[in-house]
Amino acid sequence: MTRSATCLLVVLLALSTPGWTGPGRVLSKTPIPVDQPFGLTPFGGGLLVSDRATGTALPFDPATRAFGTALTLPCRHPWGIAADGDALWVYDPEAGKMLHFLPETGRVDRILADVEAEVRGLAWDGSALWAAEGKRFMKMDPADGTEIQSFEGPGLDTSGVAWDGRYLWLADRRGDRLAVAAPDGTLFAVLPSPGPYPAGLARMGDSLWVVDFEQRALYELDISLSPRPYTLGAPHRRAVTFTQTLENLGPSGEVEARLYACLGEDGPHQKLLRPITIVQAGTERVTDAWGQPFARLTGTLPAGGELTLSYRAEVETRDLQWFILPEWVGPLGAIPAEVRSRYLVDGDKLKIGDPVVRDLVRKVVGSETNPFWIAFKIHRYLHMNMPYVRTGGWNAAPTVLERGNGSCSEFTFAFLALARAAGLPARYEAGVVVRHDDGSIDDVYHRWAEVYLPPFGWVPADPSRGKPATAMEVASSFGSLSHRFFITTHSGGGSPILGWTYNYRSLYEFTGRARVEERTEAKWEPLAE
């Protein structure tokens, strides 16, 4: 199977998930009766699809799903087309020129000869042209075709662009993804493409229309507000055995130990295929103040003795990607009072009153009040300005921010501190990770942040990939979970049981002298289909 076919299969599995109603759901698929459909633009109350093979454009009526009579364009092999009212902008790749075309008269009344890009997608925002080219997209001067601003695109081949009056929609051909950008070029949301070669985009109301060049089809996607605004990937079924051991190397034989292991639960991203099995007899189930469930085992370790707590979980996990437009998010005041009271408090790993934290919040967040943009600006800042460095320490947020690098836990502390200082409730989430192969060992684990976005609730944000992050990495890591994660932990921090750690915790006391060592690992294995 080819890479494109594999990606398409994954997308189709996601879109066919029973009961799935999130953004990006395919509402219709219409075959396009041309050989090389590429550009797409709203025009005349409907849509216009260009055919690169014949230099024509076909009107399409979304209400009837019917195509009209082909319109001859003023060049043989057009790439991008965009309507600016009753006229069309058409890019002629053979001449390297932008043509302003009047369909009613068939006349080209303006020619831009100084175009600085090989334009694939094209859009009109009411005063300027937007063009997609390779790794970037750009704003162009309609007076002469020169570049006004250029931005990093969603992938190696940005094959389409559309303007909806507020946002830019972009197609990443090689990544089989669609992205949304603010007018300042910031990519902030991602959807899977319905086909392997998205080549033209147009938004009309709550529908996003996508031309697929390879399939010669026109897709209509639902992008209306949904109570579950996320997409799910194909299911992956695996078993994980987590083992935690304390060994008393002596000489004291009076080591009293308590072992705690966090127990994962069902969620949108993961499902337990059967109840978690605790291996050791005498293990208790307890819950902390954050609602986190644990297995607890207590015992006395003689010199040379061990205490082991382990569990086995059989889980189904999926890639998850939230898709949220900022205007869907309610104000900070819409966040429930209980959430604000619990998840805006300070902690010894946060120190939200520290001048380093306060000054950086003013710099990064400024006067922003939309919870989505507060969270995303913090997420983007950490991504673009702090490299990932696993030093082994878990320093508090001000130290991490001053140092300018950190581990995943330190990135998480920094994110939580900045978010809470900005008035946005935040907590952390963590788990064990499939390390490449389904049969693998994880002894490093991973932690990331969550923010509360009303009315949707807790949304993940993982800022720890570090610079030099791409614009698409920043966008796709906001609101995403990998199928490689089995989530074990949700916490606001400072738990009497867990403290500021995750996955597990070991506590022990002894009389005299003793050296105690701890070992943990998560062993993964694939499950038979």
CATH for 320-481, among 3.10.620.30, 3.40.50.1220, 1.10.645.10, 3.60.15.10? Answer: 3.10.620.30
CA dist., res. 7 & res. 24, Å (int): 15
At 392 the pLDDT is: 63
User: What whole-number distance in Å separates Cα of residue 445 and Cα of residue 464?
Assistant: 13
Overall pTM > 0.85: yes
Please say if the pLDDT value at position 14 is more than 50: no
Closest CA to 412 of 363, 445, 440, 434: 445
Domain boundaries, the chain: 3-232, 236-318+503-526, 320-481
> How big, in percent rounded to 5, are the helix, strand and coil portions of the chain?
15, 45, 40
- Give the integer Cα–Cα distance in Å for 219 and 211: 6
Q: Note whether 436 and 353 are within 8 A (CB).
A: no
Closest to 406 in 3D by CA, of 447, 440, 348, 439: 447
Query: How many CB atoms sit inside 10 A of residue 457's CB?
Result: 12
Integer Cα distance of 110 and 92 in angstroms: 13
The dihedral built from the CA positions of residue 480, 276, 271 and 238, taken in this order, carries a sign that is positive
Grouping H, G, I as helix, E, B as strand and the rest as coil, residue 214 is: coil
Q: Does domain 3-232 match CATH 2.120.10.30? A: yes
pLDDT in the model for residue 117: 84
Structure tokens at 33: 């009766």
Q: What is the CATH number of domain 236-318+503-526?
A: 2.60.40
Taking only the tens place, the pLDDT of each residue in 442-488 is 999 999 999 999 999 999 999 987 667 899 999 999 999 999 999 99
CA angle 369/336/378 to nearest 5° reads: 35
pLDDT above 60 for 3: no
**For residue 398, what pLDDT is reported?**
97
Q: How far is CA 221 from the centre of its chain?
A: 19
pLDDT confidence bin for 8, thresholds 50/70/90: very low
pLDDT digits (tens, 9 = 90+) for 261-286: 999 999 999 999 999 999 898 899 99
Q: Look up residue 39 and give its amino acid.
A: G
Domains 3-232 and 320-481 share a fold: no
Residue 424: pLDDT above 60? yes
Q: How far apart are CA 405 and CA 473, in angstroms?
A: 18
